[in-house]
Amino acid sequence: MAYSGEPLLAEDLLFRPVHSLIDQSLHSELGATTTNGDGFGIGWYGESARPAVFKNIEPAWNDRNLREIAAQVRTSLFFAHVRSSTGTPVQRSNCHPFRYGNWLWMHNGALHGFHGYKRDLVTAVAPEMFADIEGSTDSEVLFYLALTFGLTDDPFTAVARAVGLVEQVAREHRVEDSVQMTVATTDGESMWFFRYSTLRQSRSLFYSNDVDKVRALHPEVKALRELGAEARFVVSEPLRDLPGAWHEVRESSAGVVRSGHDELRPFQPIAP
Amino acid sequence: MAYSGEPLLAEDLLFRPVHSLIDQSLHSELGATTTNGDGFGIGWYGESARPAVFKNIEPAWNDRNLREIAAQVRTSLFFAHVRSSTGTPVQRSNCHPFRYGNWLWMHNGALHGFHGYKRDLVTAVAPEMFADIEGSTDSEVLFYLALTFGLTDDPFTAVARAVGLVEQVAREHRVEDSVQMTVATTDGESMWFFRYSTLRQSRSLFYSNDVDKVRALHPEVKALRELGAEARFVVSEPLRDLPGAWHEVRESSAGVVRSGHDELRPFQPIAP
Amino acid sequence: MAYSGEPLLAEDLLFRPVHSLIDQSLHSELGATTTNGDGFGIGWYGESARPAVFKNIEPAWNDRNLREIAAQVRTSLFFAHVRSSTGTPVQRSNCHPFRYGNWLWMHNGALHGFHGYKRDLVTAVAPEMFADIEGSTDSEVLFYLALTFGLTDDPFTAVARAVGLVEQVAREHRVEDSVQMTVATTDGESMWFFRYSTLRQSRSLFYSNDVDKVRALHPEVKALRELGAEARFVVSEPLRDLPGAWHEVRESSAGVVRSGHDELRPFQPIAP
Amino acid sequence: MAYSGEPLLAEDLLFRPVHSLIDQSLHSELGATTTNGDGFGIGWYGESARPAVFKNIEPAWNDRNLREIAAQVRTSLFFAHVRSSTGTPVQRSNCHPFRYGNWLWMHNGALHGFHGYKRDLVTAVAPEMFADIEGSTDSEVLFYLALTFGLTDDPFTAVARAVGLVEQVAREHRVEDSVQMTVATTDGESMWFFRYSTLRQSRSLFYSNDVDKVRALHPEVKALRELGAEARFVVSEPLRDLPGAWHEVRESSAGVVRSGHDELRPFQPIAP
């Protein structure tokens, strides 16, 4: 879940039951399935350009510190992630969002066969960044590859090159369906998102940009009334009862949201 | 899940995928539902009469220490529990099984409205045991009430009196459906189990005592071939594909299993 | 450690090495001794009258989430505590500060022999509060006794009555040196502190109210320059190199700090 | 701490206060200093050739599960380690002992400047082992380098080549004091240990091989009476009151202990 817009309390985004728009979208992630109980993380921009991250290895649904902090964090750019381990250890350094400088990165999905070609990927990371990789996940390596290929200058191209490299390396190891991803990344001002998989069977990704419509449907929700014209959500799962408020991000596409500007475009990996 | 019989590795009881009898029965508890991810515990008898307990607040399904220990624990009396919190904190002292001296206690269910009459219950616990209560759950208080009423001498009567007290106290607080429980308890030699609820809508409880039949159905399972005539399982959920091997514990009944002796009897709370 | 005054970042109070005044005072608590590694907690007032608490069972010195949060929390009333267990489990519900409504409570010390007379104390807690006790420590019970005796109306009297009760109950159990405490408590506006022990050998407690003098001694510390006339610290250990900035709270005394008002007075338990 | 010999309870090695020989040697590791509170681990050989490891991120001194397990583990080869992080995260995958197949590895010390040349070291690990590295510590990389250089065939040579590589790579990055280590490693039958540092200022390492003498000095310790002729301890710190029972491992030397055979020899890194 990613939010960009007027400052809101994280609690309003994560927990408040009356906020059906946000709450339901999150409930599908935050506890609805067993497979998302392997740690969680939130990231936000507050006192400085470097974002804060709070991550823990317990399930999000019962973490009392998360509730405490969510009640205090008021931010205009908020990331939240719940993890389902695909084999790597449940430890804080494997929880999303990952951070580098003032950037955050979250990934749903997997690099299939990662264990078999991990070495080839991490040796492709820029040497000066190599030792900053703290965890053992495919998601973090994908982030560092994107950083290596210029994420901070041109996110669309950098992610396309990172994915292109993964696919080529995987094919060399006879893995044909290597990439499965929805990704969200931000520098604190803009929010980029990607939906792509090698087999063109990507996990779902949705964004909301019609705040007025959502507000009209839910006049009882106080926080919605406070949402400004710039409020944007990017979520993995749509809200069944608010189909009109959500746009599905198409297969093999990417987008960016920043103040006064939304953009969607096709996404195509760039082979090395 | 409770096992009594010839010494087996805990791993064979908890994890080995080929052991479909045991594994499937446990998979329904150990990770199949989100609501059982709030900590877990195992208890067993080994080097001394006092049982060992290993309990943790993370979900069982991804706890690497649990896998390590399960591969080393060989025991003839094994308890395992996965917790779904009903509001009390996720902390080790709230995880089952609970231990007192050489006794273990596990409870599935709840004392409805417990928060409202907790004080009346804990003040009914024998004063000399009071300060040994370490956690904050209804399940542990029920254990201490049973201990107060003579669990170590006559488990059937003690649990009946404990339940009778809870129901009376709850009614005084206008809670009419107070007790929901399946309970297993042991002193290391015998294993008692109870199925009861105030509204006579108790959670399921099953036991297996026909080892020869199970073995005939699953000749490929090595551990089953090693099961002796004394092997007994008590589980919360039956195995759909082995209906013949399981006996459902009837509504409002209790039982005991010990070497060369099985017994089932009706269960009736004893009001104070 | 307790701070009251102009809004400051928790990070400036807890971690910044250049802030020798605060940092050194905290280093003696936050990691300098093995015996303070059994969990920690911070509490602060932010988005609402109800304070937030962030508590964890790991040692504070290496908790990455604490560093993240401390870099974001800006508050005018901040409590921090590191715990050394005297036997009760290391679990979040046993970490300070404890919270009730908009009140926070921290205690250094112990009720000696607590296990032996715990039952007598908790049954003296107001019945309607009883079930809100979540942990198993003496410190939390002392808080609930103070609440029972009117903490929210008259803290000085309430704590005196709570201590008086503990001493009487302990004596009935032949414990003559029952109370050892330094306590800080707050409603978000005023900050009360107490130094007392039955044997009149209380742990140290210091407060700082001479901001101008501290500033003059440390012109290089930016945060000190930002400290206003209302800034007050209450700490367990004095700073050796700034003796002039600290006042030792005398044996058997108590105090209160609020905007424009400081007060110190003798403290005497009130027997039931 | 490493033990090899007749089967003993881990509890006797770790906790029993009356066992002053073992207990005191461990107390210096298990909690005596703040800097060893960043996680711990034990490893032992039990039900199979593959050793078990139990590791946790909390301080060892208050971990209740450790006490439970130590009371049940009876083994003839036991490793125990308490960690003091030098910057890498406190997470289970960074705790010692590390395991590969039937081998265990523990390291006290550091590879100075590791962050700056980590990439050069991990790319020297055998590609087929690369992805098995789970944590982010220098100690684990040193283990994998030793494995790469033939640890399972010839531990003395393999460790010498691993250290030689580290020193060369470090020098290329202008780090002149790269290696500081005491290491213990085992395949379940023999136990090798190393004491070395680039500057020849290695941390202490001691071994005990005079069981008869120790027994004579401590006739009151029951476990000592049960120690057989094969009992050997390797510890980081000597016991001040039993100087005669301990042999200091000399600077730049290594050794091996197995049934009926002890050996000490000089240790010299082998440059690539």
- Topology (CATH level 3) of domain B2-266: Glutamine Phosphoribosylpyrophosphate, subunit 1, domain 1 (3.60.20)
Question: In chain A, which residues have their Cβ closer than 8 Å to the Cβ of C16?
Answer: none
Q: How far apart are CA B236 and CA B1, in angstroms?
A: 7
Q: What is the pLDDT of residue B36?
A: 64
User: Of A152-161, B21-30, D102-111, D128-137, where does mean pLDDT reach its minimum?
Assistant: B21-30
Chain-chain contact of A135 with D130 (C-beta, under 8 angstroms): no
- Window from A184-198, B49-63, C167-181 with minimum mean pLDDT: B49-63
Residues D52, B72: C-beta atoms closer than 8 Å: yes
Tell me the residue type at D103. W
Angle, CA C157 vertex, CA C155 and CA C161 arms, to 5°: 115
Q: Which residue has the higher pLDDT, B40 or D171?
A: D171
Rounded to a whole number of angstroms, the distance between the first and last alpha carbons of chain A is 31
The pLDDT of residue C20: 36
User: Quick check: B239 and B172 in contact, CB under 8 A?
Assistant: no
Helical segments of chain A, H only: 10-14, 20-27, 64-70, 114-122, 127-130, 138-148, 155-172, 211-217, 222-226
pLDDT band with cut points at 50, 70 and 90 for residue A29: very low
The predicted pLDDT at position A232 comes to 85
Instruction: Report the pLDDT value the prediction gives residue B159, as an integer from 0 to 100.
Output: 98
Q: How is residue B152 written in tokens?
A: 């170590």
- List the chains bordering chain A where 3 or more Cβ pairs fall under 8 Å: B, C, D
When mean pLDDT is compared across A169-183, B193-207, C210-224, the lowest value belongs to: C210-224
Burial class from Cβ neighbours inside 10 Å (0-12, 13-18, 19+) for residue C178 reads buried
CB–CB of C244/C36 below 8 Å? no
Tell me the residues of A at the B interface, defined by beta carbons under 8 Å apart.
31-34, 37-38, 57-59, 61-62, 64, 85, 89-90
Residue A261 has a CB neighbour count (10 Å cut-off) of: 9
For B97-108, what is the mean pLDDT? 97
DSSP sequence for D90-110: --GGGSSPEEETTEEEEEEEE
Cα distance between residue D147 and residue B198, in whole Å = 62
Q: Residue D129: count other Cβ atoms within 10 Å of its Cβ.
A: 15
Mean pLDDT score, A147-169? 98
Segments in chain D below pLDDT 50: 17-35, 241
Map out the domains of chain C as residue ranges.
Answer: 2-266
φ/ψ region of C85 (left if φ > 0, alpha if ψ in -120 to 50, else beta) reads: beta
Is the Cβ pair A135, D136 closer than 8 Å?
yes
Q: In DSSP terms, which residues pair with C183 in a beta bridge?
A: C107, C194
**Cα torsion for A81, A84, A90, A94, to the nearest 10°?**
-50
**Which one of A34, A63, A84 makes the best mutation probe of the B interface by having the most chain B beta carbons within 10 Å?**
A34
How many interface pairs between A and D have CB atoms less than 8 angstroms apart?
43
Q: Which of C32, C85, C90 minimises the CB distance to D34?
A: C32
Find where tokens 């009476």 sit: D225
Subunits next to B (3 or more Cβ pairs <8 Å) are A, C, D
> How far apart are alpha carbons D99 and D159 in whole angstroms?
16
Q: For helices C114-122 and C138-148, what crossing angle results, to 10°?
A: 30
Chains with at least 3 CB pairs less than 8 angstroms from chain D: A, B, C
pLDDT band at A196; cut points 50, 70, 90: very high
pLDDT surpasses 60 at B22: no
Token pair 């009992």 in the structure block, residue: D231
Q: Who's near A151: CB < 8 A, 6+ residues apart?
A: A103, A143, A158, A159, A185
| pLDDT average, residue stretch A123-137 | 95
Residues of D in contact with C57 (CB under 8 A): 58
Q: At residue B259, what is the residue type? A: S
Cβ count within 10 A of residue B225 = 10
Q: What is the spatial order of strands in the sheet that A2-9 belongs to?
A: A52-56, A40-44, A74-82, A2-9, A232-235, A206-208, A246-248
Is A65 close to C47, i.e. CB distance below 8 A? no
pTM for this one?
0.91
Q: Where are the beta strands (DSSP E) in A198-266?
A: 206-208, 232-235, 246-248, 253-258, 261-266
- Contact list in B for residue C88 (CB cut-off 8 A) is 134
Identify the pLDDT of residue B244: 60
Gap between the Cα atoms of A227 and A111, Å rounded? 36
Distance from the C119 Cα atom to the nearest Cα atom in chain D, whole angstroms: 24
* pLDDT at residue number C122: 97
User: How high is the pLDDT of residue C232?
Assistant: 85
Other Cβ atoms within 10 Å of D144 Cβ, number: 23
Within 8 A of D60 by CB-CB distance, chain C residues are none
Q: What's the pLDDT band for A235 if we cut at 50, 70, 90?
A: confident
**A53 to chain D, minimum CA–CA distance in Å?**
15
Give the span between the Cα atoms of C40 and C52, in whole angstroms: 14
DSSP track, A118-162: HHHHHTTS-HHHHTT--S--HHHHHHHHHHHTTTTT-HHHHHHHH
Residues from chain A contacting residue D55 (CB–CB below 8 Å)? none
Question: Distance of CA C263 to CAs B207, C157, C192, C227, C267, Å?
Answer: 68, 15, 9, 20, 12
Bond prior to D97 in cis (omega within 30° of 0): yes
In this complex, do D85 and C62 lie within 8 Å of one another by their Cβ atoms? yes
Antiparallel, parallel or unpaired: β D52-56 and D40-44: antiparallel
- For residue B133, which residues of chain C lie inside 8 Å, CB to CB? 136
What is the Cα–Cα distance from D272 to D269, expressed in whole angstroms? 9
Query: What pLDDT is stored for residue B30 in this prediction?
Result: 36
**H-type helices in A173-266, by residue range?**
211-217, 222-226
- Identify the pLDDT of residue A236: 81
User: Is the predicted pLDDT of residue B255 greater than 90, yes or no?
Assistant: yes
Measured distance CA(A198)–CA(D119) in Å, rounded: 29
The alpha carbon of B249 is separated from its chain's Cα centroid by a whole number of angstroms, namely 14
Give the relative orientation of helices C155-172 and C114-122 as an angle to the nearest 10 degrees: 120
Report chain D residues whose CB lies below 8 A from the CB of C58: 57-58, 90
Q: For position D17, what pLDDT does the model report?
A: 42
The C-alpha atoms of residue B95 and residue D99 are separated, in whole angstroms, by 29
Interface of B to C at Cβ within 8 Å reads 88-89, 91-93, 114-116, 118-119, 122-123, 127, 130-131, 133-136
Under 8 Å between Cβ of D88 and D135: yes
- What whole-number distance in Å separates Cα of residue D165 and Cα of residue D173? 13
The token duo for B197 is 């609820």
Whether D62 sits inside 8 A of C38 (CB atoms) is yes
Query: Mean pLDDT in chain B?
Result: 86
Residue of C nearest to A55 (CA): C65
At residue B32, does pLDDT exceed 70?
Answer: no
> pLDDT truncated to tens, each residue of chain C (272 aa)?
898 988 888 887 787 643 333 344 344 433 334 446 678 899 999 999 999 999 998 877 778 999 999 999 999 999 998 877 767 888 889 999 999 999 999 999 999 999 999 999 999 999 999 999 999 999 999 999 999 999 999 999 999 999 999 999 999 999 999 999 999 999 999 999 999 999 999 988 988 877 777 677 666 666 666 777 788 888 887 655 455 677 889 999 999 998 888 899 999 999 99
CA B216 to chain centre: 28
Place of tokens 């070497």: B259
Average pLDDT rounded to a whole number, residues B67-80: 93
D134 to A131: CB separation less than 8 angstroms, yes or no:
no
Min CA distance, D72 vs chain B (Å)? 6
Q: Are B179 and B111 in contact (CB under 8 A)?
A: yes
Q: What is the per-residue pLDDT for A38?
A: 77
Q: What is the DSSP letter of D216?
A: H
Q: Which residues of D12-45 are buried (b: 16+ CB within 10 A; e: fewer)?
A: bbbbbeebbbbbbbbbbbbbeebebbbbbbbbbb
pLDDT at D128: 95
Q: Under an 8 A CB cutoff, do C134 and B136 touch?
A: yes
Q: What are phi and psi of D179, to 5 degrees?
A: -100, 130
Sign of CA dihedral A143, A149, A154, A157: negative
Centre a 10 Å sphere on the Cβ of residue A190 and count the other Cβ atoms it contains.
Answer: 16
Q: Check if the beta carbon of residue A93 is closer than 8 Å to that of residue D91.
A: yes
User: Residues of A at the C interface (Cβ-Cβ below 8 Å)?
Assistant: 9, 44, 46-48, 52-56, 64-65, 68-69, 71-74, 92
Minimum Cα–Cα distance from B126: chain C residue: C119
Do D209 and D225 form a contact (C-beta atoms < 8 A)?
Answer: no
